[in-house]
Structure 1
Amino acid sequence: MEERLLGTEAKYKSSLTGMVWVESKKIWRVTFPAMLARVTTFGIFVVTQAFVGHISNTELAAYALIQIMGMRFANGIILGMSSATETLCGQAFGAKQYHMLGIYLQRSWIINLVTATILVPVFVYTSSIFKLLGVEDEIAEAAGYIALWFIPILYYFVFNFTIQMFLQSQLKNSVIGWLSAISFAIHVLLSWLFVYILDWGILGAMSAMIISNWLGVIGEFVYVFGGWCESTWKGFTWAAFTDLWPVVKLSVSSGIMLCLEFWYNAVLVLLAGYMTNAAVAISAFSICLNISAWELMMCLGFLTGASVRVSNELGRGNAKAAVFAIKVILGTSISIGVVFWILCLVFGRQIAYIFTSEEDVAEAVSSLSVLLAFSILFNSVQPVLSGVAVGSGRQSTVAYVNIVSYYVIGVPLGVVLAYVAKLEVQGMWIGMITGVATQTAVLGIITYRTNWDEQVNKASERLNKWLFKRSEDIGESSATEQLNG
C-alpha cells in the first residue's frame, strides 16, 4: 500500500499540474487550520465590537480606539516577537532537530512574558494617554475603562501566539483550528447571554471575550503537555535560559517588523479622531478596518503556510522547493483575494449594519467601500511575502521596508489628502492603500531577487550555532531532571 502511494506521488511530480497538486496539499495542511484559527480568534474581537456597537455609539468608538490602537500596539509587539519562534522552530523541524522546538518555545515564553508585563501600564493609563493625544474626554474615559479588561488578553497573546507557531512548524496545528472555532462558538453564546439576556453591558461583552479566549489557550496547554508532542516537548529545562540574547535580537527585529505594520492602521484611526464628528469617523474607519482585517486573517493563514513551507525547506537544504512553494501559495492567495474583492464591491453598504444601527456611520462606511475592496485585494499578496521573509529569518529587512512604505509615504499622504485636500476619511484610506501598495511592490522585488541557495546556508549556520545535543539537553543538570519529574 505504501509503495502504491509513493508511486502515485512520484507520478504527480512528473508534471507541473501534479507538482502544484502535491505542493497545495502540503500548503493547505498548514494553511487551513491557521486560517480557521486566525479568522475565529479575530472573530471574537469583531463579535465583541458588534455587541458593544449596539450598546452605544460612544462605547463603540471607545472600544474601536482600544482594539485598533491599544491591542494592535500590544498585538504587533507580541505577535512580531513570537514570529522568531516561527522561524527557529520551522527551520529546526526541517533540519530534524526536533528536541530544539520545545527549547525555542520556552525561550519565547520568557521573552514575551517580560514584554507583556512592560506593556501593562499602557492599558492602566489609557484614559490619560488618549486625553493627552486630544481624544474627546467622554470617549477617552470610556476607553480607559474598557482597556483594563484587555490586560488578561495581553497575557493570552503570549501563550496563544507562541504555542500556535510551535505546533504549526511541525504540521500539528489542526488542533489550534478546532480549539479556536470552539472558542468562537462559545464566545457568541456567552456574549448573547451576558449582553442581551443578563443585560450586563460592557462588563458582559468583555467577560465573554476573556473567558472564550483563555479556554482556547488552556486546550493548547493540555495538547502540548499531554503527550501529543512527544518528539518536540521534553518538559521544562534550564536550557531555555541559555542563548537568550540572540533570540531576543531576532525577536525584536520580528516585533518591529509587525509593529510598524499593525501600528500603521492605529495611527490612521488616531488621526481620524481629529476630524469633524470624530465618533462617526472613528466608528466608520474602525468598521472598515475590521472587515479588512477579518479577511486579512484568512490571508495570514497563507503567511503561516509560506513561513512554514519556506522555513522547513530551508532547514532541509532544498532551495528549489522553497521557491516553488512561494509561487503556489501566492497564486492561491491572490485567487481567493479576487473573490472577496468582488463581494466587497457588491455588498459594501450592507456590511455596515452588522456593526451599527446608526445611519450616519453606515453612510460613512459605504463611502469607503471601493477603497476597502482594493485594500482586501492587496491583503492577498502582502502577507504571503511577509511570510516568506519570516520563514527565511529576514524580519529586519521587512522592518526597514515598512518604515519607508508606511511612515514616509502612507501616513503623510493620508494626512495631506484628509486635511489639506478635505477628503476626510477617504483621504486617510487612500494614503493607507498607497503605503500597503508600496510595501507589497518592494517585498515582491526583494523576494524575486533573493538568492535562495544563500538563504539555505544562513539557515544552516543559525541552527548549528544554537543547537543543543539532545543528550546534553536532557541531562544538563539535576534541576532539569527535577523539573521534568
Structure 2
Amino acid sequence: MDNSMEERLVSPEELNSDDLKKRVWKEFGKLWGIAFPGTVARLTSFGMIVVTQLFMGHVSELDLAAFGLQQSILIRFVNGILIGMSSATETLCGQAYGAGQYHMMGIYLQRSWIIDGVTATILLPLFIFTAPILKLLGQDEDIAIEAGKMSLWFIPILYYYVLSLTIQMYLQAQQKNKIVGLFTASSFLVHVFLSWLFVIKLDLGVAGAMSAFIISAWLLVIGEFVYIFGGWCPHTWKGFTKAAFADMLPLVKLSLSSGVMICINIYGCDFMICLGFLGASSVRVSNELGKGNAKAARFSIKVALLTSVIIGIILWILCLVFSNEIAYLFTSNEEIAESVSRLHVLLAFSVLLNSIYPVLSGVAIGAGVQSTVAFLNLGSYYVIGVPIGLVLGYVAHLQIQGLWIGLLTGVVVLTLLLSYLTWRIDWDEQVHKAEERLGRFFLEPPKQSVENSNLA
C-alpha cells in the first residue's frame, strides 16, 4: 500500500493522539453541528403540519377531521417514501464531498430531482382520488368527501417535498447545516403568521389554512434555490447539465431501497429528532468513507450511538416519571388522559428504541447498504411485528396495547438486526466500495471550473 493510501485510511491525529477525550469531544462537536440544525429543520417542517392542523380546528370539526386523516395517513406515507428516496442523495453527496468530487454533488442533486419528481407524479392519483379510496376503505362519507377536496390542496406540498428534502440532503452533506436550519425555521415563523392572518383575521377557512401552508413551504424552496443558484455553493453547483440523465438506473435502485427503509419508520415529533441523528450519522460516515478513512468512520459511529442513547435514556425516564402529566399537554379530558397514561410504559420504550435504530439506519445510508436494511425493515415489521400485533390486539383482545406491543417487538428485532449488521460491516471494504461507487458515477468537471480552481 502506497503512502497516499495510508494517509487516507488513517489520519495523522489518529496515529499520534492518545487523548481519547479530545477525539470524542471533537467528534461530538461535528455530530451536533450536523444533528442540531437537521433536527430543527425536521421539527419545524413537521411543525408546519401541526400548525395547519391547529388552525384547521378553528374552521370546523369536519375540516379538522379531514385534515387529520390526510396528514396521518397520506402525507406521512408519501413523506416517508420521499425522505427515504432522498437519502440516496445523502449517501452519494456525502461520499462525493469526502472524496473532494464537489462538482458531482450538483449532478446527484439534479438526478434526485428527476427520480423523486417522477415518483411524486406516480403517487399523484392518491391525491386526486382520495375520496373514493377512503369510501372504499369504509371511511365516513362526509369526512371522505371533505378529505377528497382538501387533498387537491396537498398537490403543491407533494412537489415541495421533492425539492426541499433533496436540497436539504445536498446542503447538509457539504456542512451547510446552519443554512438549512435557518431557512426552515424562518419558513415556520412565516407559516404561523400567515395562518393567523388568513384563518383568524381574514376568515378564509380551509383555503386560508392551506394557502398559508403552500406559500410558506414554497418560500422555503425559493430561498434555497436563490442560495444555490446565487453563487453560495460555487464548488458543488455548476449549473444544469445533461449529465443528470446519465447512469440513472443504479441511483433509482439505491433510492427505492432507501424509500422502503424509511417510509415505515415515521413516528411523529420524537422521530423528527431521531431523523436529525440519522442524517448526522449518515453524513459523518459517508464523508469519512469518501475520504477513505475507515477508522474515523467507526469512531464516528460510536460517538453518534452513545450520544443518541444518552438522549433516549433521558426521554425514557421522563416518560416514566411524568406519565400522568404528558397526556394533559394535548387534552383536558380526564378519561382520555387516563387512557394515555396506561400506555406510558410502551411509549417510554418506543422513545428509547427510537434513539438507537435511526442512528444505525443512518450508518447504513452512509455506507450505501440501504437494500439490505430495506429487507430487514420489511421482515421485522411485516413478518414479525404486524402479525404479533394483530394476534395480541384482536385475538387476545388487548386492543391498542396489543397492536403497540407487536410493533414494538418488530422495532426490537430491527434494532438487534441493525446492530449485528453494523458490527459485521467491514469498513475497510466499505471504503473500497465507496471509491468504486464514486468512480462509477464520476464525470470530469467542466474545463472552466478546473481552470478556475488552478488559478485559485
> What TM-score do the two structures reach when normalised by structure 2?
0.90
Deviations 1:355-411 (A, max 9, x none): 456655444433333322221111111110010000000110111001111111111
> 1:304 — aligned with what?
279
> 2:290 — aligned with what?
315
> 2:233 — aligned with what?
229
Counterpart selection for 2:270 from 295, 307, 317? 295
> 2:142 — aligned with what?
138
Rounded to whole Å, the distance in 1 between the matches of 2:216 and 2:208 is: 12
Rounded to whole Å, the distance in 2 between the matches of 1:392 and 1:404 is: 21
Partner amino acid, structure 2, of 1:191:
S
Specify whether residues 363 and 214 from structure 1 end up closer, same or farther in structure 2 by C-alpha distance, changes over 3 A only. Answer: farther
> 2:367 — aligned with what?
392
- 1:23 matches 2:19: no
> 1:253 — aligned with what?
257
Contact 1:50 1:355 in 2 (8 A): no
Contact 1:20 1:328 in 2 (8 A): yes
Deviation at 1:52, TM superposition (A): 3.1
Rounded to whole Å, the distance in 2 between the matches of 1:189 and 1:425 is: 37
**Alignment size in residue pairs:** 438
> 1:284 — aligned with what?
none
> 2:444 — aligned with what?
469
Rounded to whole Å, the distance in 1 between the matches of 2:156 and 2:29 is: 37
Specify whether residues 394 and 36 from structure 1 end up closer, same or farther in structure 2 by C-alpha distance, changes over 3 A only. Answer: same
Percent of aligned positions that are identical: 61
Structure 2 runs not aligned, ≥5 long: 1-12, 451-456
- 1:199 matches 2:203: yes
- 1:445 matches 2:445: no
Deviation at 1:183, TM superposition (A): 1.2
Counterpart selection for 1:95 from 99, 105, 124? 99
Specify whether residues 11 and 324 from structure 1 end up closer, same or farther in structure 2 by C-alpha distance, changes over 3 A only. Answer: closer
Specify whether residues 133 and 204 from structure 1 end up closer, same or farther in structure 2 by C-alpha distance, changes over 3 A only. Answer: same
> 1:432 — aligned with what?
407
Contact 1:195 1:204 in 2 (8 A): yes
Root mean square deviation, CA, Å: 2.2
Secondary structure at the aligned position of 1:422 is classed as: coil
Deviation at 1:349, TM superposition (A): 4.8
Larger displacement relative to structure 2 (33-42 or 366-375) = 366-375
Rounded to whole Å, the distance in 1 between the matches of 2:395 and 2:230 is: 59
Larger displacement relative to structure 2 (297-306 or 411-420) = 411-420
Counterpart selection for 1:172 from 168, 173, 176? 176
Deviation at 1:353, TM superposition (A): 4.9
Larger displacement relative to structure 2 (195-204 or 296-305) = 195-204
Rounded to whole Å, the distance in 2 between the matches of 1:80 and 1:227 is: 28
Specify whether residues 432 and 312 from structure 1 end up closer, same or farther in structure 2 by C-alpha distance, changes over 3 A only. Answer: same
Deviation at 1:189, TM superposition (A): 2.2
> 2:5 — aligned with what?
none
Deviation at 1:473, TM superposition (A): 9.6
Deviation at 1:62, TM superposition (A): 2.8
Partner amino acid, structure 2, of 1:336:
I
Deviation at 1:344, TM superposition (A): 2.9
Deviations 1:263-287 (A, max 9, x none): xxxxxxxxxxxxxxxxxxxxxxxxx
Specify whether residues 311 and 161 from structure 1 end up closer, same or farther in structure 2 by C-alpha distance, changes over 3 A only. Answer: same
Rounded to whole Å, the distance in 2 between the matches of 1:31 and 1:12 is: 28
Rounded to whole Å, the distance in 2 between the matches of 1:359 and 1:205 is: 30
Secondary structure at the aligned position of 1:150 is classed as: helix
Contact 1:93 1:101 in 2 (8 A): yes
- 1:455 matches 2:430: yes
Partner amino acid, structure 2, of 1:236:
F
Deviation at 1:38, TM superposition (A): 0.8
Rounded to whole Å, the distance in 2 between the matches of 1:12 and 1:367 is: 54
> 2:453 — aligned with what?
none
> 1:482 — aligned with what?
none
Specify whether residues 316 and 294 from structure 1 end up closer, same or farther in structure 2 by C-alpha distance, changes over 3 A only. Answer: same
> What TM-score do the two structures reach when normalised by structure 1?
0.85
> 2:131 — aligned with what?
127
- 1:67 matches 2:42: no
Contact 1:367 1:426 in 2 (8 A): no
Specify whether residues 359 and 200 from structure 1 end up closer, same or farther in structure 2 by C-alpha distance, changes over 3 A only. Answer: farther
Rounded to whole Å, the distance in 2 between the matches of 1:382 and 1:64 is: 27
Rounded to whole Å, the distance in 1 between the matches of 2:370 and 2:256 is: 9
Specify whether residues 198 and 358 from structure 1 end up closer, same or farther in structure 2 by C-alpha distance, changes over 3 A only. Answer: farther
Deviation at 1:306, TM superposition (A): 0.5
Specify whether residues 400 and 333 from structure 1 end up closer, same or farther in structure 2 by C-alpha distance, changes over 3 A only. Answer: same
Rounded to whole Å, the distance in 1 between the matches of 2:359 and 2:85 is: 18
Deviation at 1:437, TM superposition (A): 1.5
Deviation at 1:14, TM superposition (A): 2.9
Counterpart selection for 1:421 from 396, 402, 405? 396
> 2:213 — aligned with what?
209
